[in-house]
Chain A
Amino acid sequence: MQTPSQQMIQIRWHGRGGQGAITAAKVVAEATFKSGYGGVVMAPTFGTERRGAPVSTSLKVSREKIYDLSPIQFPDIVVVLDYLILNEVDVTVGLKPGGLLILNSPRPLSDHPFPDFRVAVANVTKFGIEAGLRKGIVNSGIIGALGKASGLVDIEVLSQCIANEFVGRKPAENARAAELVYAATEIREPSRGGSHA
């Protein structure tokens, strides 16, 4: 039989308080819903958030309605908005072998050896500035990396949803950041372990 996780794509997002991980997950939730996924659940994890402290949020996507709202334990995809969080949080905990790890990092792909996982890296911070955003705005850009590496939703739909979300807050620049990151994301297949569903 299929376990729920095989029918469902589970994405866990790691960022810092104030970085906009929840907004990014919300945009992708909207985009997947518009792309025909009937089951979409975006659930922020609430704790004692402070600006700058590591936070996480979860997004479950399925063709069918989702009944289980419990937190993600075994994600298919992990998105990290700031590579320095790797020093503070074990972001790959529960990530399935062959699962996808997406990093915003200024360092090259080779500096992030995760042999069990498919790894996607882009310098989202840099492309944000190039697109005309204030330094440190990465929550729109990282969506481009997710779009490229997962193939879950077309970049056009993602751009449109970003522009809708950021109305009055540089919508075109935010969408542009995602498009630049989409084009520049580098991906490495896992050197061992299974393949990603």
Chain B
Amino acid sequence: MSEKLIDSGNNAAAMAVQLAAAEVIAAYPITPQTPLTEKLSELIAAGEMDAEYVAVESEHSALGVCIGAASAGVRAFTATSSNGLLYMSEQLHWAAGARLPMVMCVVNRGIGAPWSVWNDHQDAMSQRDAGWIQLFAKDHQEIVDITLKAFRLAELVHIPVMVNYDGYYLSHTYMPFELPDAAAVKEFLPAYEYAHALDPQKPESLNTVTLPDSRNDTNGVKQPGYMDIRHNLHQEMRLAMDVLEEIDADYQQRFGRGGAPILDPYCCEDAEYIVVAMGTIANQFRDVVDRLRQEDGLKVGVLALQVYRPFPTAKIAETLQSAKGVMVYEKGLSYGNQGALYADLKSALYPYPARPQLHNFIVGLGGRDIRTEDLCQTLKTACQQDDLSAPEQTDAPQWIGLQL
């Protein structure tokens, strides 16, 4: 039986990982992720989850253990935040390059220095080029549903998946959600079978020094070189979007929730101005959209981006190309340039001749309050602005809520 309950986002994630029957959990505590892996260690200690919990001395080792487990054909999970994710960075690239399926929750938090334990997206954004699939959840229900889909996706495409959710806004907040039936999850997510699982009876040479050129192996079969392997990772990551849609359709049929695994639009059909955002702030904008439509008659909508890598270039351009203005609100940036999401979006829209005017807003870094009133005002101003300023000025990010 599925179960409706109210609990924290971290516990929701832990219960999803329990339902997914992960077999190895390796993690190192870091705020605001800690309660998630604490809960998993409790479930394992209480005999409610049949898994090995490996306590490690660092995040680098945590992902190292997951790489080992996945190489042996075992379903592995870890979780981290902020500087912990950065400490894993080398292993992130390794897991993706080795094409090892695993799932990691990243409970998004600002990066030090200076230290912050509060939320922004700089941790996830800084790892966008590591070759992981990056998904973003907006509420507890999505944490559960996306985590379950993430395991199946990772195992089908052999690419590791990062499930991002906002620190504190979701991790420590109590909200209602529905936990699917365990037996039904088992049917949706069958046991992990890995064709190249380490096996002394079947020795293989994996991820050794790979020459620039392709060459024949000992059996005379042509094997790809480094560049070919990397090309395939890119291509298969692009195709992973279709796989995710198929998985989502199946999930929706079984559990009744889904339909927007890549882009989740709200009031976008007739919108002249569309906000693009990831995570909880996209949901906060739903109330802003309602207000500006009712009070100011502005045709606004919000498009939540659920998948950041692979970037849904064509889908997002299709949705946005006929809008007058697109406002990107993001909790991170590429220092010295502009918001990373903004830059990605701009690049996606470039081939479309009637592309909309774009605005970039930086918001909520290190947990700075994101006041709904500020979102209303900045969006309204951006909608009503006749842009006569110089292009480089329009293109520069605007910071919301600065206290300089």
Contact B173 A42 (CB under 8 A): yes
- Neighbour of B169 across the interface among A1, A4, A69, A73, CB < 8 A: A69
Number of interface residues of B (CB under 8 A): 24
Q: Which of A1, A30, A38, A68 contacts B284 (CB 8 A)?
A: A68
User: Across the interface, do B372 and A43 meet the contact criterion of CB distance under 8 Å?
Assistant: no
CA distance A44 to B32 in the complex (A): 13
Contact partner of A46 (CB less than 8 A), chosen from B172, B294, B371, is B172
The number of residue pairs between A and B whose CB atoms lie closer than 8 Å in the complex comes to: 58
Asked if residues A71 and B174 are in contact (CB atoms below 8 Å), the reply is no
A121 interface contact, C-beta 8 A: no
Interface centre among B170, B291, B294, B372 (most CB of A within 10 A): B372
Q: Which residues of B contact A39 (CB under 8 A)?
A: 176
B40 to chain A, nearest CB (A): 21
Q: Does A40 contact B (CB under 8 A)?
A: yes
Q: Are A67 and B6 in contact (CB under 8 A)?
A: no
Pair B173/A43 contact, Cβ less than 8 Å: yes
Residues of B within 8 A of A26 (CB): 174
**Residues of chain B within 8 A of A41, CB atoms compared:** 173-175
Q: Is A166 located at the chain interface by the 8 A CB criterion?
A: no
Q: B380 at interface (Cβ–Cβ under 8 A)?
A: no
Q: Does B58 contact A (CB under 8 A)?
A: no
- Whole-angstrom distance from the CB of A186 to the nearest CB of chain B? 30
Q: Is A33 an interface residue (CB 8 A)?
A: yes
CB within 8 Å of A: which of B62-79?
none
A131 within 8 A of B: no
A46 touches B118 (CB 8 A): yes
Known: A42-B174, A69-B169, A70-B369. Contact between A30 and B6, CB under 8 A? yes
Complex: chain A residue closest to B288, CB-CB? A68
Given the complex of chains A and B, what is the CA–CA distance between A156 and B118 in angstroms?
A: 37
Which residues of A are in contact with B by a Cβ distance under 8 Å?
A: 1, 3-4, 26, 29-30, 33, 38-44, 46, 66-71, 73
> Can you list 26 A-B pairs, Cβ within 8 angstroms, ordered by A?
A3-B291, A4-B287, A30-B6, A33-B176, A40-B174, A41-B174, A41-B175, A42-B174, A42-B175, A43-B168, A43-B169, A44-B168, A44-B173, A46-B32, A46-B118, A67-B283, A67-B287, A68-B283, A68-B284, A69-B169, A69-B170, A69-B173, A69-B283, A70-B284, A71-B369, A73-B371
